[in-house]
Structure 1
Amino acid sequence: MDTIQFGRRVAYWRTRRRLSQHSFAALMGKSVRWVQDLEGGHRQADPQLSIVQLAALRLGVSVDRLLHDPAVLCPSASEVEAVRAALHRHDVLTGWSGTCAEAAPVAAVRRALVHARDGFQAGHFAQLGAQLPALLVDATRAAGHYEGEERRQAFRLLSLTLELVEAAAVKWGDSELAVTAGQRAVAAAERSEDPVIMASAARHLADALTHHGQPQAAVEFATAAAGRLQADLLQCGADGLSVLGMLWLKASMAQAAAAEADDRQPAALARAVPDLLDQADEHAARLGTDDNRLWTAFGPTNVALYRVAAHVQLREGEQALAVAADIPDAALAGLPRERRAHLLTDRAHAETQAGLRAEAVDTLLEAERLAPEEVACRPRTKALVEDLRLLGTGNAGAEGRLRALAARCGLPR
């Protein structure tokens, strides 16, 4: 059981029933702290079935709904708006918070960031809506309060926090929010004076620009950053190689998006995509292994995942499936859950492009089991589910599984 999502559902239905945590604790025969831990996903073990059944009874919902209801997998509109509002706060925007504002220790900001970034890579995107506003404020205050190396460290953390806002916004389908956060991340990275952080922020902004319909600008920004920073990054060990490789991967996806959207010379633009991927492959070979420096998951396996994604972007489903088939299972198992689920959704897109629609349904179900939010919440994946409903699968069993999946995604009947 995903304890974080179960906790979100308990909190959602407790609020719907207008029960305070104190009242719900009394109904459950537990302490308020127990309820807080349960709703925050901080329980050390999965709740016993008897606890799940009692919670469902007290909340007036079925056990199945409490365990699987898709409506509360995704961040609420108010949570997304809270992140946007935090970006627009005067103190966050200007870095000025007054002389009386307390700044969190840099180490505490780092711990909170690591927790949030690790949650993202585990496939938990919805919880970021609640985590990011406070993290943005704390990181900004730290950057404005400390001096010397501590200030540079704080700006590194602020840039990485803004990168996380960009990544979450892409998952939520809010490309405007992603671009805003990506631009801020680049500005904070410059203040950090750290080429690794500068390159990391640049790859996130390139990603945001691509999703915002500006792929050519994304290509130019990513390649310019790679050219400017490469000499320094090659002196920074595994961290430098990882972010440099990711810059070329983001450039390749932007180039593929530019080719797919172009009406004049799409083939010429598409021919540049393999060259960009090869640049990333060179750095992955130099790194020599799959790694997760700065949450990049960069290495030979992730480069292969991007080759699949680029083929999908170019509507080359059969080629994408061929690349995916050659990725060793053992190598995939070492990647973060978000990366593995993303590959599965890309594979489902490729199968749909290749006319293998029943197989695409089963691949989406595999992705859902691995990371439910990648399927139930992400607009890109929900659009694929809707396309499959319209196209049909030609398989009665797959149709039934598709209808159930569409319901869990909250799609209208």
Structure 2
Amino acid sequence: MPAEPSPDPYADPLVFGQRLQVLRTRRGLTREQLGGLAGRSGSWVKGVETGRLKTPKLQVILRLAEILRVRDLSELTGNQSLRVGLFAGPGHPRLPEVKAAVEAFPLDADRAAPPIAQLRARLARAWAARHRAPDHRDVIGALLPDLVRDGQAAVRQAETAVDRRAAHAVLAEVYGLCQFFVAYQPDAALLWRVAERGLVAAQESEDPHAIGVAAWLAAQAHRDCGPSHFDAADEVNLRTLAYLQPLLADASDDVLAIAGALTFEAGYTAARRGGTGTAWRYWDQARAMAVRLPQDYYHPVTSFSQAIMGAHAVTVAVELHQAGESVRQAAAADAVAIPSRPRRARHRIEAARGYQLDGQPDVALATLAQAHEAAPETIRYNGYAKRIVLEEAEAKSPARRRRAAELAMKLGLLAA
């Protein structure tokens, strides 16, 4: 007899425990692994899944949703009145046009390719605009369709091998900009298509910097898919670092910076695994690489720089659930200005996670308000920020509930 298909938590009327079990299994996690990541035991997970224990409180449900990377909270709860997007934000109005440009298969020569130097200049302006704009997705979403089409045309129409490699390097970075736009939007297939095309174009370019950027983005995509993808994140990350290592003695600032960014990413993944020593060791190595860069240097894609290392330290401490250390690092990092508005907002979100972890929810909400002021589109698409706001909207303190509700309305989590 054929085996019965596993139930679909998105379609079948399952209870919470059954949904938890199906989603956990699909993520490739054991009960012990899920329990450890949630601060519980494997037997606790089994008790919830089998119905021996009752459905946990909202704070725990949100933590489970974070670990399992559910697209919408209702996928875990089964309650269609709780349709709250967590790690997939709202679809941006410009997403269809960007998607159409990426998915097109142009073979004609009707579109004349611009010179590579012009494409590079446009791409540089696009990155600069992304870092300056509070509505950065709107800004780069308007620029991307033509950049994608022109980058593809430049590759097709290149007349020499040298020109073709140069065009591939630019196209790889265009796909990198695409990934920043597509990330956390409700189209995972498009995200992976962009990441993979970026890797292929970078390899064709034979350019160390382009290869490093594409690998950095691919590693992030794997890591953000959850624990079952951590090995894949490490594989692309560490292999690329091994490729770049012999080049670093005489490397340009950009190549040194992408190697530093990849080194920190290895530490970030280690922190997600709970590897304290490994995570801080990679952070120390990345800091040493940052010190080799000019003090005012700021990598246009990854933001790697001397200025960002304090923010990176906050992230490591938060992922390791080191409450006191995350708050201490957040206070130290606040003394350093981060030029990029979206990266500054991301740092504020990480700091807010640390304050909540340290039992300072009021400071966490105030820090999220600063993130919203820096770049509303960053916080609107961030699952960690949404989780904090939703938790505090259920707080016992009326004043805190009110502040959380006000922020939730700004993020589109509650109706005005």
1:237 to partner: Cα distance: 2.2
Structure 2 residue aligned with 1:411: 413
Further displaced range: 201-210 or 294-303: 294-303
User: Once the 2 structures are TM-superposed, how far is the Cα of residue 221 of structure 1 from its aligned partner?
Assistant: 1.3
% identical aligned pairs: 26
Quote the residue 2:376 is aligned against.
372
Quickly say closer, same or farther: Cα 1:234–1:180, change in 2 above 3 A.
Answer: farther
Decide whether the 8 Å contact of 1:242 with 1:283 is kept in 2.
yes
Residues 239-388 of structure 1 correspond to what in structure 2 (within 5 A)? 239-257=254-272, 259=273, 266=274, 269-327=275-333, 329=335, 331-332=336-337, 334-388=338-392
SS of corresponding position for 2:413: coil
Contact 1:86 1:136 in 2 (8 A): yes
Question: Which stretch has the larger CA shift, 188-197 or 312-321?
Answer: 312-321
Q: Does 1:86 align with 2:101?
A: yes
Cα pair distance change 1:336/1:100, threshold 3 Å: closer
What's the CA shift for 1:78? Answer: 5.2
1:138 matched residue in structure 2: 150
Note closer, same or farther for the CA distance 1:176–1:325 as it changes in structure 2 (3 Å cut). farther
Does residue 154 in structure 1 map to residue 156 in structure 2? no
Q: Paired residue for 2:219? A: 206
Counterpart contact for 1:179–1:209, Cα < 8 Å: no
Q: Deviations over 1:349-372 (max 9, x none)?
A: 111111211111111111111112
Cα distance in 2 for residues equivalent to 1:277 and 1:318:
18
Going from structure 1 to structure 2, the CA distance change for 1:231 and 1:173 (only over 3 Å counts) comes to farther
Answer 1 or 2: which has greater helix percent.
1
In 1, the alpha carbon distance for the partners of 2:184 and 2:309 equals: 20
Aligned position for 2:50:
none
1:375/1:293 CA distance change after superposition, 3 Å: closer
Distance 1:99 1:175 in 2: 31
CA contact (8 A) 1:249 1:280 kept: yes
Cα deviation for residue 290 of structure 1 reads 4.6
**Counterparts of 2:92 and 2:312 in 1: how far apart (Å)?**
30
Partner of 1:399: 401
Q: TM-score, normalised by structure 2?
A: 0.71
User: How far has the Cα of 1:240 moved from its partner?
Assistant: 1.6
CA gap 1:328/1:379 in 2 versus in 1, 3 angstroms: closer
Quote the offset at 1:301 in angstroms. 2.6
Residue equivalent to 1:236? 251
Structure 2: give runs of 5+ residues left out of the alignment: 1-88
Q: In the aligned structure 2, how far is the partner of 1:380 from the partner of 1:177?
A: 22
Secondary structure, aligned partner of 1:298: coil
Distance of aligned partners of 1:190 and 1:168 in 2 relative to their CA distance in 1, 3 Å threshold: same
Residues of 2 paired with 1:314 and 1:82: CA distance? 39
Could you list the per-position Cα deviations for residues 59-78 of structure 1 after superposition, in whole angstroms to 9, with x for gaps in the alignment? xxxxxxxxxxxxxxx87455
Tell me which of 182, 186, 192 is aligned to 1:169: 182
Given that 2:173 and 2:214 are in contact with CA atoms closer than 8 Å, whether structure 1 keeps it comes out as yes
CA 1:180–1:312 in structure 2 vs 1: closer, same or farther (change >3 Å)?
A: farther
Give the match for residue 113 of structure 2. 103
Superposition pairs of residues 37-116 of structure 1, within 5 angstroms? 76-77=91-92, 79-91=94-106, 97-116=107-126
Distance 1:90 1:174 in 2: 19
1:234 CA displacement: 3.4
For structure 1, the residue ranges without an aligned partner over 5 or more in a row are: 1-73, 92-96, 260-265
How many residue pairs align between the two structures? 322
In structure 1, what is the Cα distance between the partners aligned to 2:300 and 2:165? 17
**Cα 1:324–1:175 shift into 2, 3 Å:** farther
When normalised by structure 1's length, the TM-score is 0.72
- The secondary structure found in structure 1 opposite 2:307 is helix
What's the offset of the Cα at 1:176?
Answer: 4.2
Q: Retained in 2: the 8 A contact 1:357–1:393?
A: no
Counterparts of residues 20-35 of structure 1 (less than 5 Å): none
> Partners of 2:297 and 2:396 in 1: how far apart?
38
Q: Deviations over 1:298-335 (max 9, x none)?
A: 22331221121122222223211111112252x32x53
Counterpart of 1:193 in structure 2 is 206
Is the Cα–Cα contact under 8 Å of residues 348 and 363 in structure 1 kept in the other structure? yes
